Structure formats: C-alpha cells, structure tokens
Structure 1
Amino acid sequence: MTIDATQNFDAAEREMWDGAAEAYAGSFARLCAHPVEGLLDAAGVRQGTHVLDVGTGTGAAALAALGRGARAVAVDADAGMVGTARRRGVDARVGVLPELPFPDGEFDALVGNFVLNHVGRPRAALAEARRVLRPAGRVAVTVWGGGRNVGMELLGRACEAAGAVAPAYLPRLDPDEDFERTADGVAGLLAGAGFGEVRCVEVGWAHRAGVEEWWSGAAAGIGSMGRLVTSQAPETVVRIRREYERLAAEFTNGEGRLVLPCTALLGSAAVR
C-alpha cells in the first residue's frame, strides 16, 4: 500500500463532500436510497435491533431502520451530512472509517450504503465493522458495480463528446487497496475481513430523475463524474452541459424525466 496515495484519496473525498450535503440531497440521494430496504433485510434489521449506519449521508438507511422499530445510530465523515441527518431525526455523529467511536461488540447489525466506494482502506473499514459487531452480528454493504449504470454512462459520454480530459491530479484508489467491483470481489472483501455466511447479489432498478436534477450532482462536483466535470475549464463545462442535454433525449420518457437503469452489488455476512 502506498500511504501517500491512500491519504490523498481520503483527503480528496473529505474535500469533495465538504459543503455538499444540500447538493447531494437534491441530486443523487434518491438514487442511493433505492437499495436501503434490501440492505436492512440483509443485515437482519428489525424491531429492537441495535444498528449502526456507517456513512449515513442524509440519513436514509438510519431513518428506514427507525421505521422498523430498530435502535439506530449513524456516523458520517462529513459534518454537514451529520447535521442534515440530525435534522431529520437521526442520532448521528461524525465518524471516519476505518475508525469508529464505539466499543467492541456494541451493535447487532451494521449497514454501509455505498460507503466502501469512498474510503481509501476498504479492507480496514470492514475489519472495523467486524470489531463493533457482537458475536453473530450481521453486516450489509452496497457498492457500485455489476452491470450497467446508465446515468453515469450518460455523464461520461457527455464529457467524452465535449473533449473533457481527466487531469492527472484526480485521486484514485491505491491499486493495493482496490477490489473487483463484482459479486465475487465484494464477497472476497467480506471474507477477508473475517466474516462468515458471506453472500453478495446484484440488484438493479430504473432510477427516474429530472434532467436538471441529474445534472446538478455532477455540476456540484459529487462523485467521480462530478470531479471530472468541475476540473474542466468553464468553456468545456458549457460544452459538457450541451452534450449532456443532447444525449439525455435518448433516456427521457413521455413526462420529460430520465429513466436510468442502475446496478449495484449488495454484500452481507455475519460475525463468526
């Protein structure tokens, strides 16, 4: 592992999310919330379950757990996200993987909805998840991967058509820390962290969003596509937006909304 690469990746993630809670809530939050119910099912979250939602964002998974009668606690690395989740009624606090501010064996279940995509040390993050779970406690995580994600492909095609070039300084996960974004790759991560009863499935859905809504997340610099867009010169961003509007017509339904097929991986396991 290259320490500098991991530190740079984590620092870039903190910078990307700083002040982005409102932009995320208005753009990609609904997309990321779709697998939440399946995530909670995989973690065995029900009435009375003491569950930790890691990387809660605006609090979607924690709120859904509360709706099931669970005792939910949440952490996020970004103070703005924590504030948003708290205003929605979530017991949230700042916590930065791979270190969690809880004792060993504190929780019955832990969920991480698209959080492993955003940490420089995903294996260490899962080992920390195992530490705070009781014996036989369950973990469930989602990551982007598997089949097509048309919404991101749409943004990528717009960038390519506009001649956008990714600058060398954009952060990349250290190759020693990376993993295959496949069911086997996620299952291998969980098994390598010492979990048993490992399972990973592909989940798919069609996300519907307004043309402006989908663009706004990228324009705010959220995610890899957002970082690519906002790293361009202003005139290139104008071209990207023009190409995006042209290409978006391929995926617009009769109500003027985008219909974007999405795929994610949902991995689950138990402490053995």
Structure 2
Amino acid sequence: MWAGRAQAYASSFAGVCAHPVPRLLDAARVGAGVRVLDVGTGTGTVAEAACARGAGVTGVDAEADMVEWAARAVPPAAIHLAVLPQLPFSEGLFDAVTANFVLDHVGRPRAAITELRRVVRPGGRIAVTLWAVPEAAGQALLGRAVRDAGVRDAAVRDAGLRDAGPPVPSRPAGPAAEDDFPRTETGLTELLTWAGLRDVACEPVRWEHRVPADAWWAGAVAGLGPVGQFVASRPERTRADIRRHFDLLSTEFAIGGGELALPHAALLAWGRR
C-alpha cells in the first residue's frame, strides 16, 4: 500500500497525521535526553518533532522508501527498516516508544503492542494514536465519493475493503478476530492493559485539517491508503466520475480559495511498563 509512495505521502496525508504529534510526545513524556523509538515513522514527522525536543531518536518503518525519506529528512535520528511485530532491539532499550497511526496498519495488533512493551524499559512509556471508528466526516469524504459514483459492485469486494453502513471502501480487511480489538476508547484502553501496561489512559483527539482540495484528491490518485488504492486501480473514466462526486461533496467543507476544512477524529492512548 505504501511502497514507493513516500513523496506522495509527504505532500498530502502526512499533514493530517501530524496533528496529534505534540500530544503524542507529551503522553510519552519525550524530552531532552529521552531515548525514544518511533515505530512506523513514515517520512519522519514524529522523529523530527522528538529531535526538536532534544531526545535521542531511533525510527523504524516497514517500507524502504519511507526509511530513505526519513533518514534524509531527519539526519539526527537513526532510521532503520523493521517490521512489526519483530523489532531488532534488545528488551528495555528505550525510555519511550511512540506509534502514530501504526496499529491501523498491522495485521496482528496484539503482537505489535506486546513488542512495543518489550523494547521499552520498566517504567518507560508507550503512546499510540489510532483513527477512530466511525470515521469523522472529513475522513469519510473520499469513500463517500466512491459510493456516490456507484462503484459498489464486485470490484469493491475484490479490493478487500471493509465497509461501514453503505458500501464505502474505507478500511482494509481487518485482523483475525482473536487479534483484533474495537477501535474505541474502551477498546484501545483494554488493548494496552491486556499487553501489561499500567496507568493506561485514552482520550479522543479532534481537529479540522485544512488542505487544498486538489492536494487531498492527489493523495488518493497516488494510491495512498485503502480508498486511494481502490481509486488508483480504477479505469480513467471511473476515476473521473469519482472525482466529479468528490468535487460535489467537497462543497460541504469548502472554506474558500480551493481549500477544505476536513473534520478528523483519532484516539490517543498511553501507558507505562
């Protein structure tokens, strides 16, 4: 899904994912001298912010293109290729671990959170973010455009997309039932508690992401995320029809100058080993 797309991500969806970063770092108590691991670092947004606080930062990502981008963008950080749930670090090596919208993209979230716990020291903190379900209106915009364009036949099922309510491709097929958890405050809290973390807390994070409509559409055409993968794989005529519906729906969020204010909602949770 993300292979070779670091530049497209950096110029589009990285901006919306950056919003919770200050609160994420606060929850992990990242400051000067703290040894922090940022898992799923992507293009390095969290790693860069942690470096700015004077932390000693290591970042990992499962996609080589992202690793190369982050290594160039955040030279003070040590960036490595690594795939959850197997991180190449000894137990208890870090004071803090962050994972910004990472649990959304792993097939084994319980194994992933257990691995995050393993690499943080006793007393160290883990902080994670997760897209909330149901999606906020701004998050659902692209999926609604697909639905309203009438792209709801076998192609949707073949794409392996999970729908909520009307047929709107939104999330990839989820983990097996024994590995999954509810994408709610209670569900995320229980996941961290299940992993053995203490003093677990969770809170919602809501914001409006302001972005040019063309830039938001460009992220989809570049194949970013489940809906983007679907849009990019459609014939040109189908994409044009989806774009027409995207433009119609975008008027709900227009703020002038071709920009949109898209409501988003996430969950921020933290705990300590």
Same fold (TM over 0.5): yes
1:250 aligned onto 2:224: no
Q: Structure 1: which 5+ runs fail to align?
A: 1-15
1:129 aligned onto 2:116: yes
Encode CA deviations 1:29-70: one digit per residue, 9 max, x unaligned. 000011000000000111100000000000010110110010
Q: Distance in 2 between matches of 1:123 and 1:175?
A: 11
Encode CA deviations 1:95-116: one digit per residue, 9 max, x unaligned. 1000101001100000000011
What is the identity, as a one-letter code, of the residue corresponding to 2:6? Answer: A
1:172 aligned onto 2:173: yes
Correspondence for 2:12 among 23, 27, 30: 27
1:195 maps to 197
Range with greater deviation from structure 2 (110-119 or 149-158): 149-158
Q: Structure 2: which 5+ runs fail to align?
A: 161-171
- Whether contact under 8 Å (2:139, 2:263) holds in the other structure is no
2:37 maps to 52
- Whether contact under 8 Å (1:126, 1:193) holds in the other structure is yes
Q: Distance in 1 between matches of 2:132 and 2:25?
A: 19
1:8 maps to none
2:228 maps to 226
- Whether contact under 8 Å (1:104, 1:133) holds in the other structure is yes
Q: Within 5 A, what are the aligned runs for 1:1-272?
A: 16-88=1-73, 89=75, 90-145=77-132, 148-165=135-152, 166-170=156-160, 171-176=172-177, 177-271=179-273
Aligned residue for 1:250, secondary structure, equals: coil
TM-score (norm 2): 0.91
Alpha-carbon offset, residue 175 of structure 1: 3.7
- Whether contact under 8 Å (1:167, 1:231) holds in the other structure is no
Q: Distance in 1 between matches of 2:94 and 2:7?
A: 30
What is the identity, as a one-letter code, of the residue corresponding to 1:193? Answer: A
Encode CA deviations 1:109-158: one digit per residue, 9 max, x unaligned. 00000011010001100100111111101000000005642222211111
Q: Distance in 1 between matches of 2:68 and 2:136?
A: 30
The aligned length equals 256
Q: Distance in 2 between matches of 1:243 and 1:78?
A: 32
What is the identity, as a one-letter code, of the residue corresponding to 1:69? Answer: G
Moved segments of 4+, more than 4 Å: none
Encode CA deviations 1:57-93: one digit per residue, 9 max, x unaligned. 0001011011001001000000100111010123211
Encode CA deviations 1:179-207: one digit per residue, 9 max, x unaligned. 11111011111011111111010011110
Aligned residue for 2:157, secondary structure, equals: coil
Alpha-carbon offset, residue 233 of structure 1: 3.1
Q: Distance in 1 between matches of 2:196 and 2:122?
A: 12
Aligned residue for 2:251, secondary structure, equals: helix
